[in-house]
Structure 1
């Protein structure tokens, strides 16, 4: 599972917990921060290498020639 999707899911869970519990204010802000960070990271990764498949990790690193 991609890291950005995990961050989005954790953020949504924290927002739901924040609304349902008494420590809601803290958890809501924490969830918002995680959601925004995951969206920014997803956009940066997508703009960095738009043609690479989603399974490639570290797509922004320089490509090395294949070794035999």
Structure 2
């Protein structure tokens, strides 16, 4: 599973890095960024889904998620 942020949709609310700080960070202007290559560590899938579901702009995409 991998997380991605669509920079065109991100408005910088910061919920992603507040909810999942081991997966997301912020750039110099407060917009969300993916840490590393976006791979979600085993057991951290719920955190990735929580961050994605709490993004007001739906700027977080999850690849390879089993639903």
| Larger RCO (CA within 8 A; separation ≥ 6) | 2
Same fold (TM over 0.5): no
More helix by share: 1
Query: TM-score, normalising length from structure 1?
Result: 0.29
Is the radius of gyration larger for structure 1 or structure 2?
A: 1
